[in-house]
């Protein structure tokens, strides 16, 4: 449940304000001036709360008994609204939920007043713009540049020469080195950005010889990097993460990977070196991508798939080795038939 100790709420606002916020249409206009104090689920809502009907197959059963003051929903579900509940009709309820949650509970650092904890260590040559928030025991090394309103969590390290843009959010115990990072980037706790890629000359007799990794990590604006994710710096080229990309927890991105705009990389994915992802690529959980392959714009990699070849734009693949998704389903069914043949 939502706890105001962690997510302080915006003061109550009338329903009509939220209708405007999400570009919706109000059902039961007599309730336009009723105040809403927060957002919760249909079954937990009180008569001062807003709820959302997003997955009707699972949650429509709660509509008849909800005590919510208002519900965000699609037009096709308006007939499920109780008479005492206002409706806010939108095309995409989940997008509307994102907007109202940000409105009520999204916090922004004060961009005019800097707050630097007394235990933080900041090199004299580092540059911090107005409104930076530097947590306990954080370290900002020589010639680092921290943009306006950026927050650095406790025990995090921003390495020599690193540039961070405006209004970034860096969690606790994060290390960032050899990196150029845009604005409005979120890097969650424990992430490792810019460490050396896994590059060496193999010699099983005389011993392996490391190859110095002299590239950088480039992260563009509005990227989110999950907790305990690692993004290696490039060897000779840069590792690049495109604008708007969302990376989940526990993801490994190797040296020289190039990733386009608005990709979605789900937990426990591993992407090997020099692989290129186009725009809006989705790699589902535990997917493994071998090195030096290309994933075309809009392609989708199913969960636990192993990709060992190029994937065409818009193609959906699954399995190991990954094949077109319909072929993977046929293979799975055929294998099940073979495995169960002769079993009573």
Q: Please list the active-site residues.
A: 255
SS (H, E, C) the chain: CCCCCCCCCCCCEEHHHHHHHCCCEEECHHHCCCEECEECCCCCCCCCEEEECCCHHHHHHHHHHCCCCEEEECHHHHHHCCCCCEEEECCCHHHHHHHHHHHHHCCCCCCCCCEECCCCEECCCCEECCCCEECCCCEECCCCEECCCCEECCCCEECCCCEECCCCEECCCCEECCEEECCCCEECCCCEECCCCCCEECCCCCCCEECCCCCCEEECCCCEECCCCEECCCCCCCEEECCCCEECCCCEECCCCEECCCCEECCCCEECCCCEECCCCEECCCCEECCCCEECCCCEECCCCEECCCECCCCEEECCCCEEHHHHHHHHHHHHHHHHCCCC
Instruction: Decide: 41 and 63 in contact? Cβ < 8 Å.
Output: no
**Residue 15, Ramachandran bin (φ over 0: left; ψ between -120 and 50: alpha; else beta):** alpha
Strand partners, 89: 25, 73
Cβ–Cβ contacts within 10 Å for residue 70, how many?
28
Tell me the C-alpha distance between 267 and 303, whole Å.
Answer: 10
Instruction: Decide: 26 and 19 in contact? Cβ < 8 Å.
Output: yes
* Residues contacting residue 237 through CB under 8 Å, at least 6 positions apart: 215, 256
């Amino acid at each position: 449940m939502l706890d105001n100790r962690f997510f302080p709420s915006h003061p109550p606002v009338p329903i009509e304000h939220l209708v405007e916020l999400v570009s919706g249409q109000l059902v039961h206009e007599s309730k336009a001036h009723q105040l809403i104090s927060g957002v919760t689920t249909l079954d937990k809502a009180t008569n001062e709360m807003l709820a959302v009907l997003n997955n009707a197959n699972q949650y429509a059963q709660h509509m008849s008994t909800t005590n919510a003051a208002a519900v965000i929903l699609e037009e096709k579900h308006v007939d499920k609204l109780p008479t005492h509940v206002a409706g806010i009709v939108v095309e995409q309820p989940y997008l509307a939920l994102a907007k109202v949650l940000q409105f009520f509970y999204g916090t922004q650092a004060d961009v005019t007043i800097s707050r630097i904890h007394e235990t933080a260590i900041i090199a004299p040559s580092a540059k911090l713009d107005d409104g930076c928030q530097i947590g306990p025991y954080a370290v900002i090394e020589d010639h680092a540049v921290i943009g306006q309103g950026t927050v650095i969590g406790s025990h995090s390290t921003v390495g020599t020469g690193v540039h961070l843009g405006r209004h970034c959010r860096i969690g606790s115990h994060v290390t960032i080195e050899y990196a150029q990072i845009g604005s409005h980037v979120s890097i969650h706790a424990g992430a490792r950005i810019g460490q050396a890629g896994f590059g060496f000359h193999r010699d099983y007799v005389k011993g392996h010889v490391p190859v110095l990794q002299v590239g950088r990590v480039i992260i563009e604006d509005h990227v989110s990097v999950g907790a305990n994710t690692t993004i290696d710096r490039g060897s000779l080229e840069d590792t690049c993460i495109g604008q708007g990309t969302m990376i989940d927890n526990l993801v490994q991105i190797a040296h020289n990977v190039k990733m386009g705009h608005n990709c979605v990389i789900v937990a426990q994915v591993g992407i090997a070196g020099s692989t290129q992802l186009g725009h809006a690529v989705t790699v589902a959980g535990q997917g493994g991508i071998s090195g030096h392959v290309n994933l075309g714009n809009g392609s989708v990699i199913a969960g636990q798939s192993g990709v060992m070849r190029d994937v065409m734009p818009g193609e959906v693949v699954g399995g190991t080795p990954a094949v077109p998704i319909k072929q993977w389903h046929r293979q799975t069914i055929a294998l099940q038939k073979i495995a169960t043949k002769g079993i009573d």
